[in-house]
A = this chain, B = another copy of it.
Amino acid sequence: MATLWGSRYAQRNLSMGRSIIRELLRMTTESDLISFAGGLPAPELFPLERCQEAACRVLSEYGAMALQYGPTEGFLPLRQFICDRMQRYGIGAQPANVVITNGSQQALDLIGKLLVNPGDRILIEEPTYLGALQAWNAYQAEYAPVPIDDDGLCTELLEPALRTGPKFMYVLPNFQNPAGTTLSQERRYDVVRLSNKYGIPIVEDDPYGALRFEGKHMPPLVALDAEYQKKTGLNGHAFLEGNVIYLGTFSKTLAPGLRLGWVVAPVEVVDKLVMVKQGTDLHTSNLTQALAYEVAKDGFLEEHIREIRQLYAERRDIMLDALERYFPEGCSWTRPEGGLFLWARVPAPLDTTELLPDAVAHRVAYVPGSAFYVEQKRGAATMRLNFSNAQPDQIVEGCRRLGNLLKEKLPRDHIITVPLPVGEVG
């Protein structure tokens, strides 16, 4: 007999099942499998010794505080540290603008809980971060997808979607997950202008912004929006009374196992988010917050990020070379200037979801692109490849295996006759 619970689940969209990514992560513990699937940082760069020193310092100097209940909004020195760090990106936040979360994923959940009624539409990039869809499906969100190309969100296609009255726009401007693309400077201005024109606020998710390998840093939307408010005199009296909620994380710059992210928002929104978080889990671990602060402070984080950038840039280059060498004609891929992922397109009629079991049989894994679309029939000929986690020789070998598989599966008469669309990522 089944339990009494079976018939009692809420009418939420839990139909997506467990994330393909998570299931793949399970698989990737098998050591002979080369995985480009997860979004895992390179563990060899985790600052283990510094963490150990920091843990000892926290527990010996203010252990009773770190182990006791704490404020919902987070550990003040860490929130101050985050403000100081964001200042260099032009974000003028005060600690009152910052809430600490259990990674960015919790920020997405809290935003859903605070803002989304069943049937509310969220404007998203297509493809977009799968975890955001999972977070918001639980609140029965609907989506208004707008395509991206090599310059990020196609702002020329934004207005019709904005006119449908979405609750907010969800934008990943830097080295987007999954596509690795970056929103161009010009389009950033467009996004902010259109946000204000249509009165549709923005959730800016920036997990990878600090991991730029090359090219010019571009200002975050939250800073451009503040500038816009000032110029237009809409909101001149204080910084961060604007229309952007900005999400940051230590998962890619320090360690994901700490589960530490943050939200920057107008005080009004922060107050609400704190209330929501309180009912959700009271607060984030004081111990991990204090540890992160002690590790990051005194310039360590900056120095550490420099190392990460260097390593990931090398691995990206190795992957780009290997793709060039081993992938069959007719494939294309993005060339990210930072982050953890690139996005590859294979010739139709290949379907990356159908190919995955074969790939795994050849001991190499990726995430099928369709996972990042609301309509999972789309993106059939695309895949996300992670370059941060695998060793250089594995990257080469994995691309070789994948390339051979693609060649094997291509129809014999496969000839490239149509020029590939340039730019369009989907």
A residues neighboring B (CB under 8 Å): 1-6, 8-12, 14, 17-19, 22, 25-26, 38-41, 43-44, 46, 48, 51-52, 55-56, 59-60, 63-72, 101-103, 105-106, 109, 113-117, 120, 131, 134-135, 137-139, 167-168, 199-201, 234-235, 241-243, 245, 251, 255-259, 265-266, 268-269, 272, 274-276, 278-288, 291
Are the CB atoms of A60 and B69 closer together than 8 Å? no
The chain B residue sitting closest to A389, CB to CB, is B68
CA distance A282 to B116 in the complex (A): 20
Identify which of B5, B44, B242, B257 contacts A287 (C-beta below 8 A): B257
Copies of the polypeptide in the assembly: 2
Nearest CB of chain B from residue A186's CB, rounded to whole Å: 23
Q: Please, how many angstroms separate the alpha-carbon atoms of A10 and B257 in the complex?
A: 31
Chain B residues contacting A51 (CB-CB under 8 Å) are 59, 63, 67
A288 to B243, CA, bound (A): 35
CB of A242 within 8 A of CB of B18, answer no
Q: Is the CB of A280 within 8 A of B105?
A: yes
A135 and B279 in contact (CB under 8 A), knowing A64-B46, A69-B256, A269-B5? yes
Expressed in whole angstroms, the Cα–Cα distance for A41 and B70 within the complex equals 12
Interchain CA distance A59-B120 in the complex, whole Å: 44
Cα A140 to Cα B29 in complex, Å, equals 40
Chain B residues near A60: list those with CB within 8 A.
48, 52
A278-B22, A280-B106, A287-B258 are known contacts. Are A266 and B5 too (CB-CB below 8 A)? yes
Residue of B40, B56, B137 near A55 (CB, 8 A) is B56
Nearest chain B CB to A129 CB, angstrom units: 12
Cβ contact of A115, chosen from B3, B8, B43, cutoff 8 A: B8
Contact present for B5 and A278 (CB under 8 Å): no
Contact assessment for A8 and B167 in the assembled complex, using a CB-CB cutoff below 8 Å: yes
A269 to B356, CA, bound (A): 29
Contact across chains for B279 and A138 when beta carbons are under 8 A apart: yes
Q: For the complex, give the distance between the alpha carbons of A19 and B14 in Å.
A: 30
A70 to B18, CA, bound (A): 15
Q: Which of B3, B234, B243, B255 contacts A68 (CB 8 A)?
A: B255
Interface pair A259/B278, CB less than 8 Å apart = no
| B56 and A3 contact, CB distance less than 8 A | no
A-B contact pairs, 30 of them (CB 8 A): A2-B268, A3-B201, A3-B269, A5-B265, A6-B268, A8-B115, A9-B115, A10-B113, A10-B115, A10-B120, A12-B114, A14-B114, A26-B71, A41-B68, A44-B64, A46-B64, A46-B68, A51-B67, A52-B63, A56-B56, A66-B257, A67-B255, A67-B256, A69-B251, A106-B280, A134-B278, A135-B280, A257-B286, A259-B281, A280-B280
Of B6, B39, B281, which one neighbours A102 at CB under 8 angstroms?
A: B281
Residues of B within 8 A of A68 (CB): 40-41, 43, 46, 255-257
Q: Which of B14, B102, B116 contacts A272 (CB 8 A)?
A: B14
- Is the pair A67, B257 in contact by a Cβ cutoff of 8 Å? yes
A72 contacts across to B, CB distance below 8 A: 22
CA distance A25 to B69 in the complex (A): 9
Closest residue on chain B to residue A201 by CB atoms: B4
Query: Knowing A59-B48, A68-B40 touch, does A234 contact B279 (C-beta < 8 A)?
Result: no
User: Contact partner of A258 among B5, B131, B278, B285, CB < 8 A?
Assistant: B285
Which of A8, A25, A38, A70 has the most C-beta atoms of chain B within 10 angstroms of its own C-beta?
A: A8
* In the complex, residue of chain B having the shortest beta-carbon distance to the beta carbon of A282: B105
A71 to B331, CA, bound (A): 34
Whether B109 pairs with A279 at a CB distance below 8 angstroms is yes
Give the distance in Å from the alpha carbon of A134 to the alpha carbon of B275 in the complex.
9
